[in-house]
Structure 1
Amino acid sequence: MKVKVQTLDAKTGGDIDLNDEIFGVEPRADILHRVVTWQLINRRGPARAARERSDVARTGKKFGRQKGGGTARHGDRRAPIFVGGGKAHGPRARVFTSSLNKKIRALGLKMALSSKAKDGKLVVIDNLDVKEGKTKALHTQLGKLGFGKTALVIDGDALNVSFAHASANLQSVNLMPAMGANVYDIMRHETLVLTRAAVEKLEARFNG
């Protein structure tokens, strides 16, 4: 699969051959759904348990008479109705984890990349050099390129410092290294932008 390489100045920088085994896979909604669900489950933090009646450090001595005190009958101060008492039916400690076959995870990433290529939402950029790292300059350049409402920009091993500084205040643009490429972030952005270095790293990631 041949794709035109662009520059941030909206000029053509030649062509690049994309591996059809990575960027030409027919997407399947069920595979993408499984991988996204796996990601969202594993990103959840553990649930913190509340202290129940047996966990509260208060005396268990009966603090008042059974009758004649003019108040309700109580046994100890651990009861949930008292300030500082145990929580009634509180949340329990839970850890949210899920497992998914490594081959399915790799296939899901290939399908996510292929889905963007199939829909014409995959853009390959020669490099991410921004003059003086200015946000205003980058905003103007992106407007000419027409990346849509949201764009995920994936670079090589190291992020381009000037682009990272310039895009820090742009809510519509997210930047990550090739190692962090994942199905959820790719699918939730309208446009996927890859640098030449990112294409090399992604292809090496699957071939290696």
Structure 2
Amino acid sequence: MQVKVQTLDAAEAGAIELNDAIFAVEPRADILHRVVTWQLEKRRGTARGTRERSDVARTGKKWGRQKGGGTARHGDRRAPIFIGGGKAHGARVRDFNPSLNKKVRTLGLRMALSSHAKAGSLIILDGNAGEKTKELQAQFAALGFGKKALIIDAEAGGFLAARNLQGINVLPAIGANVYDILKSDTLVLTRAAVEKLEARFNG
């Protein structure tokens, strides 16, 4: 498929031929849902478990006589009602590390890119970004970005001036992911990013 290329000054700079195997895949809600669920679950940290009655380091000796002490009959100091005792029904260690087939993850990324191309919310940029945030904000307004725009450049150092702009997210091509792509109203790719993405899929 052919898409026109624009400069940051909203002028046309020719056209680019996009690979149909990457940018013209029919999106499927079930695949995208599986990948987004996997991605959000993967980012969760390991839940720390609490120390229960068998885990605390306290004596197991019966600390008082059974009768005549005027208190309840306790066997040891590890009971949850005591300070320093074990936690009753505490949290267990949980490791959130789900697995998903690599082919499904790759297909999900292709579908996410294709969904923007199909909806007409894909912009291909040519040229380097300026160093002034105010200038970049005016250029983005002229290009007609939505409320949330994702800019994917070839390297991590591109578009540094856009980091302070509200609603603008910048990622390197290696960090392109389904969740951030679907969450954005407009997907912006540089020429170099397109080449990197196509090489990533072909490799």
1:1-80 equivalent positions in 2, closer than 5 A? 1-80=1-80
Q: Which residue of 1 aligns with 2:151?
A: 153
1:66-145 equivalent positions in 2, closer than 5 A? 66-130=66-130, 133-145=131-143
CA distance in 2, matches of 1:167, 1:34: 31
CA contact (8 A) 1:123 1:191 kept: yes
Which amino acid in the other structure matches residue 122 of structure 2? L
Task: Spell out structure 1 runs of 4+ moving beyond 6 A.
Answer: none
Q: Which residue of 2 aligns with 1:205?
A: 200
How many residues end up aligned between the 2 structures? 203
Percent identity, aligned pairs only, is 71
- Over aligned residue pairs, what C-alpha RMSD do you find? 1.4
Which amino acid in the other structure matches residue 175 of structure 1? V
Matching of residue 179 in structure 1 with residue 167 in structure 2: no
CA distance in 2, matches of 1:173, 1:158: 15
Matching of residue 189 in structure 1 with residue 187 in structure 2: no
Deviation of residue 72 (structure 1)?
2.2
Which amino acid in the other structure matches residue 8 of structure 1? L
Helix, strand or coil at the partner of 1:54? coil
Deviation of residue 103 (structure 1)?
1.5
**Stretch of structure 1 that moved more, 177-186 or 38-47:** 38-47
Deviation of residue 169 (structure 1)?
1.4
CA distance in 1, matches of 2:55, 2:17: 63
Which amino acid in the other structure matches residue 145 of structure 2? F
With the length of structure 1 as denominator, give the TM-score of the two structures. 0.92
With the length of structure 2 as denominator, give the TM-score of the two structures. 0.94
CA distance in 2, matches of 1:62, 1:194: 71
Deviation of residue 68 (structure 1)?
2.7
Which amino acid in the other structure matches residue 89 of structure 1? H
CA distance in 2, matches of 1:65, 1:194: 77
CA distance in 2, matches of 1:149, 1:158: 23
Helix, strand or coil at the partner of 1:103? helix
| CA distances 1:110-156 after superposition (whole Å, capped 9, x unpaired) | 110000111111111113421xx222222222122221111111011
